[in-house]
Structure 1
Amino acid sequence: MKRYFNGGLVAAALFALTLPAGATGMAEREPPAVSMWLIMIGIAMMSWVMTYRRWWLPLAIWVPAALFVSTLIADFADPVIGPAVREELGSLYIFQIDLAGALMLVAPLMFANQRFSRQK
């Protein structure tokens, strides 16, 4: 009996995980932690693939990722939005978002540096 991988079912399940679970107030504006981790994994995979074409191509991913992460950090640093998000979603959510954001910024630079140092 053959087993087949159903990619559509897995994609639907991952999409369902990224939907907000009955969030109210400030939580509706913030992305779910699962979607941030999926974005981080996608950026790391794209950076890894792009380094094999040219060493500097992951830097093209870094710029939009840096702008995206800076908007999230600006929301958490806001004197009104930050405490409301912290109260509603908790400190663990902010820690996860900050960690995923830091890895989004480090992964393209890490792969570009790795490939650049091999060329010497």
Structure 2
Amino acid sequence: MAAMRGTLLGLAGSALAVAPALGAGGMAAREPPATVLWFALFTIAGLSLVMACRRWWLPLMLWVPVAFAVSVIIAELADPVIGAAIRDELGGFYVLQADLCAALAITVPLMFANMRFGRHDDRKKRPFSR
């Protein structure tokens, strides 16, 4: 019985020592990887392009939830405590990629909507142009 108790205590002690390494804590486990950020950006760009080809204003409907999601990411990076922990664990290059992806995700739907609005509006003004 005593040998079993000693074995269980030893296993419990080693499990507690390994628990932080399994992802129980740390900012790296809570933040999306950089590849996910880039994949989301390319998905937003593709959706914006397809939506803009259908109607010029459709990417604007995509812009609202994207802007909300980006504001959550930027708020975490700008927080003095959480942002510092993210920079310490994941590095400054991750923060640069997250900021770049966030800025592009905000501007890409607006860019596609603006491109299609300009073309569509130009055709209405000059119906007999060559």
Q: Normalising by the residue count of structure 1, what TM-score does the alignment of the two structures yield?
A: 0.79
Q: 2:71 & 2:86 partners in 1: Cα distance?
A: 16
Measure how far apart 1:79 and its partner are: 1.5
Q: 2:66 & 2:54 partners in 1: Cα distance?
A: 20
Quick check: which one's helix share is greater?
Answer: 2
What is the one-letter code of the residue matched to 2:86?
V
Which residue does 1:69 correspond to in 2? 70
Extract unaligned runs of 5+ from structure 1.
1-21
Sequence identity of aligned pairs in percent? 56
For residues 1-120 of structure 1, what are the structure 2 equivalents within 5 Å? 25-119=26-120, 120=122
Measure how far apart 1:78 and its partner are: 1.0
What is the one-letter code of the residue matched to 1:59?
L
Which residue does 1:16 correspond to in 2? none
Q: Once superposed, which parts of structure 1, at least 4 consecutive aligned residues long, lie more than 3 Å away?
A: none
Q: 2:37 & 2:61 partners in 1: Cα distance?
A: 19
Q: Normalising by the residue count of structure 2, what TM-score does the alignment of the two structures yield?
A: 0.73
Extract unaligned runs of 5+ from structure 2.
1-21, 123-130
Measure how far apart 1:45 and its partner are: 0.4
Which residue does 2:5 correspond to in 1? none
The Cα offsets for residues 24-74 of structure 1, whole Å up to 9 and x where unpaired, read as: 501111110000100000000000000111100001111111111110110
Q: 1:42 & 1:61 partners in 2: Cα distance?
A: 11
